[in-house]
Structure 1
Amino acid sequence: MNTKSTDIRAYNALIEHGIRPSVQRLAIMDYLLTHHTHPTIEEVFLALRGEIPTLSKTTVYKTLRMFSEHKAAQMITIDDHRVCYDGDTTPHVHFFCKHCGKVYDLVNEVAPMPSNNVIDGNLIDESQLYYKGICKECREAGQ
């Protein structure tokens, strides 16, 4: 459930990234900021459709794409079939569990940063680093 502080955080995040707030955009940004599960479009849609009956998957898709284009959220492309989103846009490392499908932040890993944003004439404006394997929970469960 939204609180005033998360409403303000979502509103400020949109404004800071040049995105005009709307009911749907605020709800989606709030969801990203309060759920650190790296949700997919489907997961965001299912979570918010009860709160916003007029919400469509297309709206969620277009909104998350816009957030990514404006650097208000990270789009994490795991493979050809799975794209998820992260409200934390600071450089950090992710881990994808090949068994349960969850994506975790590896808070103790430092994301490598190039010393120069131009390498061999190529301008770097974004980087993603994630590892794939079996998460601790799945390993402990013997899966």
Structure 2
Amino acid sequence: MKNRNTLQRRLVLDTVQRMHNHPTADEIFREIAKENTLISKATVYRNLKILSEQGGILHIPIPDGADCFDFNTMPHYHMECRKCSRVYDVNMPYQTDLCDKIINADGFLIESHHIVFSGLCPGCQLQPEETAEENISKVVQETV
């Protein structure tokens, strides 16, 4: 079954391309919902999946966090701030031969790779570190 290029899909693609900040699916939905109240979250999620499978956007899996999406579909690396969870591009050449350097893949056919570095962004480096208890308390207060 061929996927049609629907108006909703075009809207999702345009939004990701306009945001330029590695948004999560929820952030994309909230941005779209500001002007298009008829589009559902499920429609946004479904179209993000299709667009990433078709190569229109890049899906960035984030360990222990919300996956992000990128308008830049060229192979490149990312870094995630462990404090604010923002995702940034890494300024380094993509290592096209990295998969070939794996010595023992236990029979696994490695076809591609993605790397997400973790650390603190410049803004979060200026802020004092919160203890785990302070962070949990803050999250609980935000959800209430």
TM range (shorter): 0.7 to 0.9
Report whether the alignment pairs 1:53 with 2:53: no
- Matched to 1:20, the amino acid is R
Q: Match for 1:39 among 14, 18, 23?
A: 23
Where does structure 1 differ by over 6 angstroms across 4 or more consecutive aligned residues?
Answer: none
- 1:67/1:142 Cα in 2 relative to 1: closer, same or farther (>3 Å)? same
* Number of residue equivalences: 123
Q: Cα RMSD (Å) of the superposition?
A: 2.2
Larger radius of gyration: 2
Report whether the alignment pairs 1:114 with 2:100: no
Unaligned runs of 5+ in 2: 130-144
Separation in 1, partners of 2:96, 2:34: 41
Normalized per residue, the structure richer in strand is 1
- 1:138/1:116 Cα in 2 relative to 1: closer, same or farther (>3 Å)? closer
* Cα deviation code 1:47-80 (max 9, x no counterpart): 0012222111100110001111112211111124
- 1:116/1:47 Cα in 2 relative to 1: closer, same or farther (>3 Å)? closer
Unaligned runs of 5+ in 1: 1-17
Contact persistence 2:99–2:110 (CA under 8 A): no
Separation in 2, partners of 1:115, 1:103: 22
* Cα deviation code 1:61-110 (max 9, x no counterpart): 1000111111221111112441111111101111100001100112x211
Separation in 2, partners of 1:103, 1:115: 22
Separation in 2, partners of 1:38, 1:115: 24
Q: Look up the match of 1:79.
A: 63
Show the 5 A alignment for 1:1-143: 20-106=4-90, 108-114=91-97, 122-124=109-111, 126-143=112-129
* Cα deviation code 1:101-122 (max 9, x no counterpart): 100112x2112112787x7772
- 1:19/1:36 Cα in 2 relative to 1: closer, same or farther (>3 Å)? farther
